[in-house]
């Protein structure tokens, strides 16, 4: 466990979509990734958006909204398991996202499982046309930063990172690391997420971590193809990598990659950067507020 609050080691998962024989088999695969992250000293591990969807093939004769409703019945079990793993391995787990059914609707949500045992929920606010038309998923209404033992973080699920207002609101709340679990089906969708995630790192003066899925899964509708290259993006200024990328995976290969980020560099950037995107906003001319 890292005892320096400025130096943070982050693991991000490039997950292979595959047909697991059982829920237990998927959980065992997850445990192996968490164990590797723990053994290599990670403070955080990030999983992708909707990574449990392979389990739909275990639910016979279901498609569309019925399938995602049935899949949501597994979510409590996964959250409980992630919480146990966070406590056991002393690692903060960002669970990607999973469907939940509450108040009569299905939402796309995830959880921050802190290594001290706390659990906090985040929601996808902007739902893609495919999610809504094929599964009937609805957007949530919660956006906030999370205080962790290794700094203040935010989470935006996939499409949400394409709306710069959300990142800016989190930055105004003190966010230092933004986690973005995503699921994209082709290079165009992936590039939208990647480019916007990198932009958030520059304009919000933070680190941005993305985690996605790869592989073909023809047996599950809306998950037939998955395209991914995961990475950790940095601001673009002195003291940061020239390409503003701390680390990135290969393309469409299952991997767990690690990056070390220095929170002290963010404070220096805020106060002494070549440009100061947060401080030099023309708030006399425009403003942003959460309703």
Q: What's the average model confidence in pLDDT over 23-45? A: 98
3-state SS, 51-96, equals CCHHHHHHCCCCCHHHHHHHHHHHHHHHHHHHHHHHHHHCCEEECC
Choose the catalytic residue: 113, 124, 196, 205: 124
Mark whether 158 is an active-site residue. yes
Question: Which of these is catalytic: 16, 49, 131, 206?
Answer: 49
Asked whether 263 and 209 are in contact (CB, 8 A), the reply is no
Please determine, for residue 218, whether its predicted confidence score (pLDDT) is greater than 90: no
Q: What is the CATH number of the domain that holds 84?
A: 3.60.110.10
Is 290 tagged catalytic?
no
CA-nearest of 50, 37, 92 to 255 is 37
Question: Do the domain assignments include residue 284?
Answer: no
pLDDT value at 145 more than 70: yes
Q: What is the pLDDT of residues 157-174, one digit of tens each?
A: 999 999 999 999 999 999
The answer as to whether 81 is a domain residue is yes
Which residues contact residue 88 at a Cβ distance below 8 angstroms, ignoring those fewer than 6 apart?
Answer: none
Which token pair is 155? 């989470």
Residue 278 lies in a domain: no
Confidence label for 3 from pLDDT (cuts 50, 70 and 90) = low
Residue of 107, 123, 158, 205 marked catalytic: 158
The model's pLDDT over 220-244, given as tens digits with 9 standing for 90+, comes to: 877 889 999 999 999 999 999 999 9
Evaluate whether residue 1 is within a structural domain: no
Q: Look at residue 174 in the predicted model and tell me its pLDDT.
A: 97
Per-residue pLDDT reduced to its tens digit, 247-261: 999 999 999 999 999
Domain membership flag for residue 283: no
Enclosing domain of residue 138: 7-272
Residue 177 lies in a domain: yes
Q: What value does the mean pLDDT take over residues 90-114?
A: 97
- When divided into structural domains, the chain yields a total of 1
Active-site residue, 138 included: no
pLDDT at residue 283 is higher than 80: yes
Tell me, yes or no, whether 291 lies in a domain.
Answer: no
Per the domain annotation, does 187 fall within a domain? yes
């Amino acid at each position: 466990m890292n005892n320096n609050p400025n130096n943070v080691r982050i693991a991000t998962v490039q997950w292979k979509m595959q047909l697991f024989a059982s829920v237990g088999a998927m959980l065992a695969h997850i445990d192996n990734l968490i164990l590797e992250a723990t053994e290599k000293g990670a403070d955080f591990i990030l999983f992708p958006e909707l990574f449990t969807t392979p389990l739909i093939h275990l639910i016979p004769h279901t498609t569309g909204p019925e399938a995602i409703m049935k899949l949501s019945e597994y979510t409590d079990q996964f959250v409980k398991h992630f919480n146990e793993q966070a406590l056991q391995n002393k690692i903060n787990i960002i669970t990607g996202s999973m469907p939940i059914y509450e108040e009569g609707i299905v939402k796309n949500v995830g959880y921050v499982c802190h290594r001290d045992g706390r659990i906090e929920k985040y929601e996808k606010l902007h739902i893609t046309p495919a999610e809504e038309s094929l599964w009937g998923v609805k957007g949530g209404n919660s956006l906030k930063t999370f205080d962790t033992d290794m700094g203040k973080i935010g989470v935006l699920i996939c499409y949400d990172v394409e709306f710069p207002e959300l990142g800016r609101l989190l930055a105004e709340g003190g966010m230092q690391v933004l986690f973005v679990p995503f699921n994209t089906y082709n290079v165009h969708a992936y590039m939208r997420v990647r480019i916007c995630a990198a932009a958030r790192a520059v304009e919000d003066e933070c680190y941005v971590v993305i985690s996605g899925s790869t592989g073909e899964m023809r047996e599950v509708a809306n998950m037939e193809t998955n395209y991914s290259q995961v990475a950790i993006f940095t601001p673009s200024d002195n003291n940061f990598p020239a390409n503003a990328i701390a680390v990135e995976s290969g393309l469409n290969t299952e991997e767990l990659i690690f990056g070390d980020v220095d929170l002290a560099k963010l404070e220096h950037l805020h106060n002494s950067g070549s440009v100061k995107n947060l401080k030099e906003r023309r708030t006399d001319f425009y403003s942003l507020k959460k309703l």
